[in-house]
Amino acid sequence: MASISERTFIAIKPDGVQRGLVGEIIRRFEQKGFKLVAMKLTHASEDLLREHYIDLKDRPFYDGLVHYMHSGPVVAMVWEGLNVIKTGRVMLGETNPMDSKPGTIRGDLCVQVGRNIIHGSDSLESAEAEINLWFTPEELVEYRSCAHEWIYE
């Protein structure tokens, strides 16, 4: 079982920001019971984005993805909670919105894979790397939520 303090990196992509979906996405993570420990609105540099997507550098869509992610603001967040990485990925839905179930973020809010509004870490290793890439340790806020006892046994 994963630790209650497991963390994941979630980014609302430029299309999600431009469409005004930031509040809806945050609402879903908060309603699930996850704790927000860092958040910022940023216009990510191409260097940061190239590093973030380094594992896709040999794919034909890599340059287009970096260009798209650099085209507007991104909301970068760190969420904490029990099994937040796995559960967060389920909440996001499949990478291709056409394969995503209703009730997921992508299943409810987007149509095409090239505009799938959100990114989420897919493993503990990628979460740690992405959090360290986007945030300094000082930007991660440590606190105990007053709802903790109502969420966890």
The pLDDT of residue 82: 96
Domains of the chain and CATH, by start:
7-139 (3.30.70.141)
Whether 16 contacts 118, CB under 8 Å? yes
Residue 123: phi and psi, rounded to 5, are -160, 165
Structure confidence by residue, pLDDT tens digits, 20-68: 999 999 999 999 999 999 999 999 999 999 999 999 999 999 999 999 9
Instruction: Quote the percentage of the chain above a pLDDT of 70.
Output: 98
Q: Which of 43, 67, 70, 119 is catalytic?
A: 119
Q: Return binding residues.
A: 13, 61, 89, 95, 106, 116
Using DSSP, state whether 34 is helix, strand or coil.
coil
pLDDT above 60 for 1? no
Q: Which residues pair with 76 in a beta bridge?
A: 11, 40
Residue of 59, 75, 79 lying closest to 117 (CA atoms):
75
Question: Which letter, b or e, does each residue of 42-65 get, where b requires 16 or more Cβ atoms within 10 Å of its Cβ?
Answer: eebeeebbbebbeeeeeeeeeeeb
Residue 121: phi and psi, rounded to 5, are -55, 145
Q: Return binding residues for ATP.
A: 13, 61, 89, 95, 106, 116
Instruction: Quote the percentage of the chain above a pLDDT of 90.
Output: 95
- For this structure, is 119 an active site residue? yes
pLDDT bucket at 4, cuts 50 / 70 / 90: confident
Residue 65: phi and psi, rounded to 5, are -65, -45
